[in-house]
Amino acid sequence: MVEIDKFLEGANPVLGMALAGTTVILVVDDADDDGLVAEIAKEVETDIVPSQRFTGGWSSQAKLMQKSLLLKFHLVRLEDESERKWTVPQAPANILDAISGGAHYVALLPRELAGDLTEVSPASIGGAMIVQCEASKGVKKARTALGEA
């Protein structure tokens, strides 16, 4: 239990997720994070996709006894390596495939812009910060350990 608590430390849960092509969409709560609001606004204003100021990465925590996988997304500002983190409990197989299968994008979409995530497309993620990510070897290994991949 202590290991999982440490894994969750400093991370906020995502409010929703979806997949549009090779873009994993994470709905985030920015209500209490003025810094995140400002960073997303800067990224949207520059209209450069993917972001040139941020990158992203994934880490995972496999719970073998419960056969479950907890993900954490790390948003890293390149300028000073400052980091924000979000947890993704029980991501569906298509999202795990995108994360572990190859290079992909992650769109951080503020809650108030998310709308209905049942029918998403690249056009429906306006207002999101989009970062490029490499395939996650850690997620792939955790899935293998759980017998999922």
Determine the structural domain holding residue 101 and report its residue range: 2-145
Whole-model pTM: value is 0.87
- Looking at the 3D structure of the chain, how many domains does it have? 1
The reported pLDDT for the residue numbered 132 is 94
Tokens of residue 88, six digits: 């993704």
pLDDT in tens, 100-117: 999 999 999 888 777 666
Backbone angles phi, psi at 60, to 5 degrees: -145, 155
pLDDT tens, 47-72?
A: 778 999 999 999 998 887 777 888 99
